[in-house]
Amino acid sequence: MTTRRGAHSQRGRPPRALVLLAALTLTFLLVPFAALLQRAPWSGLIDLLREPVVTEALRLSLISACLATALSLLGGIPLAWMLARTDFPGRSLVRALVVLPMVLPPVVGGAALLFAFGRRGLVGGPVYDGTGFLLPYSLWGVVAANTFVALPFLVVTVEAGLRSADLRYEDAAATLGAGRWMVFRQITLPMILPSVVAGAVLCWARALGEFGATVTFAGNLQGRTQTMPLAVFLALESDREAAIALSLVLVAVSLAVLLPLRDRWLAA
Amino acid sequence: MLRADVVLRLGALDLSAEVEVADGEVVAVLGPNGAGKSTLLRAVAGLLPLDRGVISVDGEALDAPDAGIFVPTHRRPIGVVFQDHLLFPRLSAVDNVAFGLRARGMRKPDARRVATGWLERVGLADHAGAKPGALSGGQSQRVALARALATEPRVLLLDEPLAALDARTRLHMRAELRRHLATFPGARLLVTHDPIDALVLADRLVVLEAGRVTQEGTTDDVVRHPRSRYVAELVGVNLLHGTAVGDHRVRLAGGAELVVADPVPATDVAVAVRPQAVTIHRDEPEGSARNAWPATVAELEARDDRVRVQLAGPVGTGGGGQAGLVAEVTPAAVAALGLAPGTAVWATVKAVDLAVYER
């Protein structure tokens, strides 16, 4: 699975063209971060981060990204299983629909969510009339927008894991008397755990950075639906230093989560 | 009692084979790669549905497309030992064996206790806590066997049970597997491409070639009377096709004639001769051996403490004698006769060493 350290030395030096292009790409990725660090208002940073705008946005972002990931796991794994392991009419169409939010501009996704679950939406209308419950402009609206956009990352990753898993172990479990549910729980799920974790990380990261669908569907209400990306966008207009501080926090949180997981799960 | 009348198509394979295994009997399905052996076994286990035919255990249908019956794998009273053993890598040996019992709703402590008993029976009680990765090939094979037997199935299937083992372990495990199989009261069906496994483990052989049963019978019967070239090569016997030209004479495809001791039973016959029964001489022999013919040494191949000598000549296993007859001699004989590729020799076979039977 993993390449042994130092294995490259046996195959000679890496080609110069590849090294050059890789270095250019890395520079392109790192310069914006460097610029961010360079412009950071280091002296007033602590005070800036204590502002309620920042703490509330951070709290909302973390909560909604985690909830969206949990929902995606709950619904995405079964969906991935259906796509990988069963044959039903229109499966390829379903697969295309599942990844649609990946290619769709998030704003379009947010608008679609509004038409579906808004106060006068296809589903949201009757629900509001009956119960008074309204999804948009609430924390659950943020979670819905995040899930809508981030779910495909989980489904695609888990489906790939299911497809590459060795089916013979599932066969062996079946011959021992395990029904499909027990096989799934005790054999399949442990086997695809790396894919599930990788998918969840991608999903979480996508949810954390979600902007377009959230602002369209859930609005930009400080303390209620204003997540970090929204706060950054707003601050850029009024208080550039606050925007930079918020951005730094977002970068730091992302790195803190992604770095440890990357080595453990994403290195293939 | 297992009855499997399997008709199914899978890719290029067109399988249509019937196998019956009585309780207490070990039947080996022997065949080359791609003959459909594993497919047959998977169909019996319920991992592949039949197109037509029927699979039943003790008269109870498990798969009968015509009657609309299909019992899923996990409800069949059938245990399977897979080729690569397929022990669940995250479970310890005892939990692997306990898996089937847990699937049947047994509580964990009880399942573990029963599983430990099974590990004791295969001599692995002290490896109960070991993960499959820490077990040797022979050990994991024994765990796989214990796991399959722990659910007390009525039929036991073994898919190339010894193929994953190295040569030394294999020899040892073959004898051990034979012992364990003897304690299992139900029907046992084993699939293998290794004739030695089949001969050692099975009471009866079913030869499967390109999806069809080409021969079946007791191991003894198949070895003595191989009916196809594949079987003859497999069990190490020369198989010659010919036609009767008298009560005790057979004319081979290449034109040569052999005298046989037994009366020729039919017009189209096969003659089987064991390589050990073929004698090689430097000069034209005189005396009682009436089957003698000149030949050329085509190839020498050392096998264990014997040398297999391929002889090109009028008597051979292929049409026209292109594929040589195989003689098996000692290295000392090779030296004494000065045999090398190209050496001109005479080959003889006694009439009593030729088994002749209807094709």
ipTM, 2 decimals?
A: 0.74
Question: Is-above-0.95 flag for pTM?
Answer: no
| Binary contact (B99, A171; C-beta < 8 A) | no
Which of A168, A169, A176, A187 to mutate to test binding with chain B, by most B CBs within 10 Å of its CB? A176
Is the minimum CB–CB distance between A87 and chain B shorter than 8 Å? no
Alpha-carbon distance values, B68 to B64, B65, B81 (Å): 6, 5, 28
Which residues lie across from B208 on neighbouring strands? B213
> What sign does the CA torsion over A248, A252, A254, A255 have?
positive
Q: Chain centroid to CA A115: how far?
A: 23
Is the pLDDT at B144 greater than 90, yes or no?
Answer: yes
Which residues lie across from A261 on neighbouring strands? none
The pLDDT value given to residue B321: 39
Provide the mean pLDDT of chain A: 87
Is the pLDDT at B322 greater than 50, yes or no?
Answer: no
Is the minimum CB–CB distance between A194 and chain B shorter than 8 Å? no
The pLDDT value given to residue B317: 62
Tokens of B309: 């000598």
Smallest CA-to-CA distance from B257 within B293, B224, B284 is with: B293
Which residues lie across from B63 on neighbouring strands? B55, B70
Report DSSP state, residue B263.
Answer: P
Smallest CA-to-CA distance from B3 within B195, B183, B154 is with: B154
Tokens of B331: 């290295």
Confidence grade of residue B307 (pLDDT, cut at 50, 70, 90): confident
Which of A136-150, B131-145, B149-163, B252-266 shows the lowest per-residue confidence on average (mean pLDDT)? B252-266
Instruction: Give the range with max mean pLDDT: A13-27, B215-229, B255-269.
Output: A13-27
Stated as kind and residue range, the H or E segment containing B325 is: strand B324-329
| Binary contact (B88, A187; C-beta < 8 A) | yes
The pLDDT value given to residue A262: 67
Is the minimum CB–CB distance between A167 and chain B shorter than 8 Å? no
More confident residue, B293 or A3: B293
Chain A closest-CA separation from residue B129 CA (Å): 18
Which tens digit of pLDDT belongs to each residue from B329-356? 888 999 999 898 889 999 999 888 887 8
d(CA A53, CA A242): 9
Chain B closest-CA separation from residue A76 CA (Å): 24
> A73: which residues sit within 8 A by CB, 6+ positions away?
A154, A196, A200, A203
- Name the residue among A168, A171, A177 with its Cβ closest to that of B103: A177
Instruction: Compute the average pLDDT of residues B214-222.
Output: 85
Confidence grade of residue B100 (pLDDT, cut at 50, 70, 90): very high
- DSSP one-letter string for chain A: -PPPTTGGGGG-SPPHHHHHHHHHHHHHHHHHHHHHHHH--GGGHHHHHHSHHHHHHHHHHHHHHHHHHHHHHHHHHHHHHHHHH---TTHHHHHHHHHHHHHS-HHHHHHHHHHHHSTTSTTHHHHHHHH----TTSHHHHHHHHHHHHHHHHHHHHHHHHHHS-HHHHHHHHHTT--HHHHIIIIIHHHTHHHHHHHHHHHHHHHHT--HHHHHHT---TTTT--HHHHHHHHHHH-HHHHHHHHHHHHHHHHHHHHHHIIIII--
Which of A9-13, A40-44, A194-198, B145-149 shows the lowest per-residue confidence on average (mean pLDDT)? A9-13
The pLDDT value given to residue A263: 67
Q: How many helices (H) and strands (E) are present in chain B, helices listed first?
A: 9, 21
Tokens of A173: 């479990």
The pLDDT value given to residue A3: 46
| Binary contact (B78, A190; C-beta < 8 A) | no
Tokens of A220: 């930009």
The pLDDT value given to residue B255: 80
- DSSP one-letter string for B10-27: ETTEEEEEEEEE-TT-EE
| Binary contact (B86, A177; C-beta < 8 A) | no
3-state SS class at B318: coil
Are the C-beta atoms of residues A134 and A124 closer than 8 Å to each other? yes
Instruction: Give the range with max mean pLDDT: A113-127, A222-236, B43-57, B184-198.
Output: B43-57
More confident residue, B321 or A186: A186
Please name the residue of chain B whose CA is at the shortest distance from the CA of residue A172: B86
d(CA A83, CA A159): 7
Is the pLDDT at B5 greater than 90, yes or no?
Answer: yes
Confidence grade of residue B150 (pLDDT, cut at 50, 70, 90): very high
Residues in A touching B108 (Cβ below 8 Å): none
| Binary contact (B104, A177; C-beta < 8 A) | yes
Chain A closest-CA separation from residue B95 CA (Å): 12
Residue type, A29: L
| Binary contact (A177, B88; C-beta < 8 A) | no
> What sign does the CA torsion over A222, A224, A228, A230 have?
negative
| Binary contact (B103, A179; C-beta < 8 A) | yes
Residues in A touching B88 (Cβ below 8 Å): 169, 172-173, 187
Q: B249-252 and B2-10: which strand pairing?
A: unpaired
Backbone angles phi and psi of B20, in degrees to 5:
-125, 135
- Name the residue among B78, B82, B103 with its Cβ closest to that of A178: B103
3-state SS class at B199: helix
Backbone angles phi and psi of A55, in degrees to 5:
-65, -40
Confidence grade of residue A80 (pLDDT, cut at 50, 70, 90): very high
Tokens of B169: 């372990």
- Name the residue among A168, A174, A176 with its Cβ closest to that of B147: A176
Smallest CA-to-CA distance from A202 within A83, A65, A13, A81 is with: A65
| Binary contact (A168, B86; C-beta < 8 A) | yes
Instruction: Compute the average pLDDT of residues B187-192.
Output: 94
> What CA dihedral angle connects A45, A47, A52 and A54, to 10 degrees?
0
Smallest CA-to-CA distance from B92 within B129, B117, B46 is with: B129
d(CA A247, CA A241): 10
Are the C-beta atoms of residues B184 and B149 closer than 8 Å to each other? yes
The residue assigned the tokens 């009419």 is A89
Backbone angles phi and psi of A47, in degrees to 5:
-65, -40
